[in-house]
Amino acid sequence: MRVAVVGTGYVGLVTGTCLADVGHTVTCVDVDKKKVAMLREGRSPIFEPGIEELLKRNSELERLSFTESLNSALEGAKIVFIAVGTPEGEDGSADLRYVLEVARQIGEHAKKSLLAVVKSTVPVGTSDLVEAEINKKLKERGVNFRIPVASNPEFLKEGAAIEDFMRPDRIVVGLNNGEGHEVLEDLYKPFITDDPGRLFIIDRRSSELTKYGSNAMLATRISFMNELARLCEIVGANIDHVRRGMGSDPRIGKKFLYAGPGYGGSCFPKDVEALIKSAASHGSEMQVLSAVSKANKEQKQYVSRMVREYFGDLKGKRIAVWGLAFKPGTDDVRETPTQDIVRNLLDWGAEVCAHDPEAIETFDVLMGKHPKLSYEKDAYAALSGADALVLVTEWHDYLQPNWDRVGSAMRSKVVFDFRNQYTPHELFELGFYYRCVGRPDSKTGRS
């Protein structure tokens, strides 16, 4: 099947390369000339495990191509995916200008009937707006074919996006009047051969809300566990024990029950705020989600204050930070907790030296130049002369450090573990001050 994908960010590029890898002929469209040129050379503009291999292989097999022209990409296509960004607006709502602009262009350039699929994360009712924009342009042109619109939200985890797309736990498709049902079944058949029941065909508005609801539920679990971890510190409980006890209940499950520095990334913060705003526009107040958002913002401040409270005054202190990306397996630093933590440390007078296996460049762009912020390409080099180590992102590189080497490099043997990755009594025995989130540590003296 010939497919067009508009947008080559995480969603668009993964969608395009994976569809090509199962035999579809895919043309990806982007207005960024430099990005298109880079992709044509077989280089990915994002870090995602496995993406460049798929990109190169399918380009060589002539199943995957890249262009700046939507007009040419629509030639012979049965489906066009809209996978452009929906950034958070100033008021927290989703900015739909790019989605609607693509819809207008589809209406202007399509030469025959095809299925338009909204892959971007969008508020309830957006597919209706997309359909209206397309129909408006078709009417202006006086053509006699239709372009039905479907909703098909993505459920990809950065760092595991290829695996998620190739082996989905579910594929959600929203259709009105069943238009496009057979085309989408044919498109996704290679991914659900073992279990066709994983393809859910529902109405468009339910499909759109399923995406927001899923991310909002996961964000809620994270914020709840972080608040519970704070209570653990007060009453002397251990959040790891609580987590295991809760997770053994099949009604709750074990995932997304880990305490940490707060959620980040391109989805959870933006989608939580967008769902709150979307509900408000329909006269509904999302009280639980408003509290989730507030708790997440506070958690980033809470862990930052741990460092300041230990030293009292951070002026003249050198803090090493391990982990800049919002999660391991990606170079994405959008809404990463590290941004808030580093900004706080700098504002409080500290000097910060940071390391990340993949995200130094993207974090540098995000933060801009600061006289007291530097980076090292080697994790141990970042520790040189440091008064404390702050672990923010749980990369495998940091899982089993050489503590003798860590202690020798640092000026003070102080570790703040915001991912609860290390064993308290091991560090106590090595002479470290150790602080984590919601577990017994040096603050309580218990292990």
d(CA 130, CA 106): 10
Checking DSSP bridges between strand 2-6 and strand 79-82, what pairing results, if any? parallel
Rg (CA), the chain: 24
- The span from the first CA to the last CA of the chain, in angstroms, equals 59
- Residue whose token pair is 């007291």: 372
Contacts for 125-128 with beta carbons within 8 Å, 24 or more apart? 125/205, 125/208, 126/96, 126/99, 126/151, 126/208, 127/151, 127/174, 127/204, 127/205, 127/208, 128/204
Q: Quick one: which H or E segment has residue 173? A: strand 171-174
Query: Is 28 assigned a catalytic role?
Result: no
Going by C-alpha positions, the residue among 68, 143, 70, 142 that lies closest to residue 111 is 143
Options 18, 28, 267, 436, the catalytic residue: 267
The answer to whether residues 115 and 150 touch, using CB atoms and an 8 Å cutoff, is: yes
Helix (H, G, I), strand (E, B) or coil at 244: helix
CA separation, residue 155 to residues 29, 162, 319, 328 (Å): 21, 11, 36, 17
The answer to whether residues 35 and 146 touch, using CB atoms and an 8 Å cutoff, is: no
**Sheet-wide strand order for 79-82:** 64-67, 25-29, 2-6, 79-82, 115-118, 149-151, 171-174, 199-202
- Residue whose token pair is 């798929």: 54
* Ramachandran category for residue 445: left, alpha or beta (phi over 0 → left; psi -120 to 50 → alpha): left
Which amino acid does the sequence have at 397?
A: D
Burial of 113 (0-12, 13-18, 19+ CB in 10 A): middle
* Catalytic residue ranges: 267
